[in-house]
Amino acid sequence: MTATETLDVCVVGLGYIGLPTSAVLASRGHRVHGVEINAKSREIINSGRAHIVEPDLDMLVRAGIESGRLQAHPEPAPADVFMLCVPTPVGEGCAANLDYVRSATESICPVLKKGNLVILESTSPPGSTEMIAEIVFQNTKFQAGDIYFAHAPERVLPGHILQEVVQNDRIIGGIDEVSTQVAAGFFKTFVQGELILCHSRTAEMAKLVENASRDVQIAFANELSMICDDLDIDVRQLIHIANRHPRVNILQPGCGVGGHCIAVDPWFIVHLAKGKARLIETAREVNNSKPLWVAEKVKAAASKLREPVIACFGAAYKPDIDDLRESPALEIIQNLQAAKIGRVLVVEPNIESLPGCELVNMDQALTQADIVVFLVGHGPFLALRAAQLAEKIVIDACGALASINS
């Protein structure tokens, strides 16, 4: 594969990673056959729109559809390259549930041909890429060397995916040296960052380690916030002061940790390490405890009012996206609803509906609420004026007040 070669690429899974990747590939001239089992999502994509919120993605999807280089289908088709972009949730005993990966691999077996490249994008524990190779060999006539297999984990930030999928350095690990080189040739067609080559097991572990490291750092900040609350210390001022030390860089606390990576991937290491990942496991426990701690703070405030109205600002797992996966904000909202301590309003500007919740706009929330709870620092929330929160009980779990009061 050369940097200017036009390829047929089959992307299995058009979600938060698969669709942006497909749109970028199409913009680079590749012909992309996207596989999406959700009929409504397929319809939206084929109409030239994105079914997820990501800056500029609508425009890039529309361009791909109009050019004929991007289409969404229910089944795989023959291609030069296959990319598996399916979920890998936490399963029983903290192990990775690889059912979607197995199913996606089995689905492409009937259309594989000799010389194809199969890339596992999904975050997976060490050995997963070798597992999909075994599945292919068991379900086809191919032997080792006929098909190339590699793992190339995404390392992108939601809200910046279209830039980072191109500009970020990319880890590429094949099950053998030839697979690594073939995969590198493909990624050179659209990645501007450095290609970091290694074995597939190292690539798989690297992604887990990156996210576990972030989780530990966030846990320190979240634990510090709970300690400072007991000591009546402004944790954000404290962190600002401590970070003046030239070798200290404490992150900002929040209402927990969510999303498809940081809240999930460390558990895979805990499962594999068999008792040795004590720090990683404790960090997960600290971050998992933070939503309950926030909810208890809200309940304590609500208990002092008669028939309180509580407005929760934010339900996504991070600012300015619509992704609710593993969202600590949503966990807090559901906890408050279950406690039946008052009427719970939800303000989430990036989604149109939230089953089981009373979704309102900012003006409605500010008019009706006695208690305002900032859970996610969405841009529109940070543009509020302090005067709009006058006479409200405000609980800030994400640092929004620093921007509102500035």
Supply the residues annotated as catalytic.
Answer: 207, 261
The residues pairing with 199 across neighbouring beta strands, listed in sequence order, are 174
Q: Measure the CA dihedral 221/223/228/230, to 10°.
A: 160
Question: What are the beta bridge partners of residue 371?
Answer: 310, 393
Q: b/e map of 323-354 (b: 16 or more CB within 10 Å)?
A: bbbbbbbbbbbbbbbeeebbbbbbbbbbbeee
Q: Which of 135, 160, 149 is nearest to 56 (CA)?
A: 160
The tokens describing 77, both together, are 């088709």
Between CA 115 and CA 126, with CA 121 as vertex, the angle to 5 degrees is 95
Q: How many residues does the chain have?
A: 406
Q: Which residues contact 210 (CB under 8 A, 6 or more apart)?
A: 155
Find all residues with CB under 8 Å of 49, minimum gap 6, and list them: 58, 61, 62
| Integer Cα distance of 32 and 77 in angstroms | 10
Alpha-carbon gap, residue 343 to 244, rounded angstroms: 42
